[in-house]
Amino acid sequence: MTVSLSHLAASVEGWLGELGKPLAIDGERIECQMVAGIALGPQDGEDARELLRHAHLAAHRARQSQQRYHFFVNELNTHLHRRHQRSSALKDAIHNDVLVMHYQLQFDASGVAVGAEALIRWPQPDGSMVSPGEFIPLAEESGLIVPIGRLALNHACAQAAKWRQSGYPLRVAVNLGAEHIHDPELPELIEGLLARYQLPARDLEIEVTESSLMENISQGRQQLQRLREIGIEIALDDFGTGHTSLAYLRDLPAQRLKLDREFITDLPHQPHNQAICRAVITLGHAMGMTVLAEGVEREEEYALLKALGVDEFQGFLLARPLPGAQVGEHLKALSLAPSVK
Position 245 confidence tier, pLDDT thresholds 50, 70, 90: low
Q: What is the pLDDT of residues 307-326, one digit of tens each?
A: 999 999 999 999 999 999 99
Residue with the bigger pLDDT between 74 and 192: it is 192
Q: At residue 340, does pLDDT exceed 50?
A: no
* Local structure of 116: helix, strand or coil: strand
Rounded to whole angstroms, how far apart are CA atoms 127 and 117?
23
222-229's contacts with Cβ under 8 Å and 24+ in sequence apart are 223/181, 223/182, 223/184, 223/186, 223/187, 224/181, 224/252, 224/253, 224/254, 225/253, 226/187, 227/186, 227/187, 227/190, 228/253
122-131's contacts with Cβ under 8 Å and 24+ in sequence apart are 122/90, 122/93, 122/98, 123/98, 123/99
Q: What angle do CA 288, 280, 271 make, to 5 degrees?
A: 150
- CATH architecture group of domain 97-333: Alpha-Beta Barrel (3.20)
Q: What is the pLDDT of residues 13-50, one digit of tens each?
A: 888 888 888 888 877 777 778 888 888 777 777 788 88
Residue with the bigger pLDDT between 291 and 237: it is 291
State pTM to two decimals. Answer: 0.75
Number of other residues whose CB lies within 10 A of the CB of residue 173? 26
Q: What are phi and psi of 49, to 5 degrees?
A: -60, -45
Segments of the chain assigned E as strands: 23-25, 28-30, 36-38, 69-71, 100-108, 113-123, 129-130, 171-175, 204-209, 233-239, 256-259, 290-294, 312-314, 322-323
Q: At residue 229, does pLDDT exceed 70?
A: yes
> Residues near 130 by Cβ (< 8 Å), separated by ≥ 6?
121, 122, 123, 124
Q: What is the pLDDT of residues 56-89, one digit of tens each?
A: 888 887 787 787 877 776 655 555 556 667 788 8
Q: What is the pLDDT of residues 94-140, one digit of tens each?
A: 889 899 999 999 999 999 999 999 999 999 888 888 888 888 887 88
How far, CA to CA in Å, does 36 sit from each of 63, 232, 259? Answer: 9, 46, 39
Q: Which H helix or E strand runs over 193?
A: helix 186-196
Return the pLDDT at 317: 95
Position 240 confidence tier, pLDDT thresholds 50, 70, 90: low
Rg (CA), the chain: 24
Give the closest residue to 310 by CA, choosing from 333, 286, 285: 285
Return the pLDDT at 339: 47
DSSP string, 124-136: -TTS-EE-HHHHH
Q: What is the pLDDT of residues 147-187, one digit of tens each?
A: 999 999 999 999 999 999 999 999 999 998 888 888 889 99
Q: At residue 288, does pLDDT exceed 80?
A: yes
For the chain, which residues make up each domain, given as ranges? 5-72, 97-333
Q: What DSSP designation does 245 have?
A: -
